[in-house]
Amino acid sequence: MPEEDLIELKFRLYDGSDIGPIQYSSASTVAMLKERIITEWPRDKKIVPKVANDVKLISAGKILENNKTVGQCRAPFGELPGGVITMHVVVQPSLAKTKTEKKVDKMPKKSGCSCSIL
């Protein structure tokens, strides 16, 4: 693999800590990056993503799509040769959690009305 084909990335977590920097091929997909983040995630954090779909990657202000490659997502400006690109990691709640929360919200609520006339 040629040296110029490698891109050095680090991933900034919600608390300011980082995973990396790690070198990736520019042909690596965003989905592959997310899988790597899941395996490298520090287990002492309060929020731990379980699957790759729980993670969103943001680079240069854009949410990256799973099917895009690192080379396609790279911002053409502001990069220094040999520099490290920082991507921000956002953990979103899984769909299963939101469904259970909705079920709790749909439970019948006891409603009462009281009036005071003076």
Q: Has residue 109 got a pLDDT over 70? A: no
The pLDDT value recorded for residue 46 is 86
Between strands 6-12 and 85-91, the pairing is: parallel
> Does the CA dihedral 62-66-68-74 come out positive or negative?
positive
In a domain, 58, yes or no: yes
How far from each other are the two terminal CA atoms of the chain, in whole angstroms?
Answer: 84
Q: What secondary structure letter does DSSP report for 38? A: H
- Computed over every residue of the chain, the mean pLDDT equals 78
In a domain, 73, yes or no: yes
In a domain, 106, yes or no: no
The residue-averaged pLDDT of 42-49 equals: 86
Between 85 and 105, the more confident residue is 85
| Tokens describing residue 54 | 């729980």
- Domain with residue 49: its CATH number is 3.10.20.90
Q: What is the number of other CB atoms lying within 10 angstroms of the CB of residue 80?
A: 7
The pLDDT value recorded for residue 35 is 92
Residue-range definition of the domain harbouring residue 37? 3-94
| Tokens describing residue 39 | 């395996």
The pLDDT value recorded for residue 1 is 45
In a domain, 107, yes or no: no
Q: Has residue 59 got a pLDDT over 80? A: yes
The residue-averaged pLDDT of 90-105 equals: 60
Q: Has residue 56 got a pLDDT over 60? A: yes
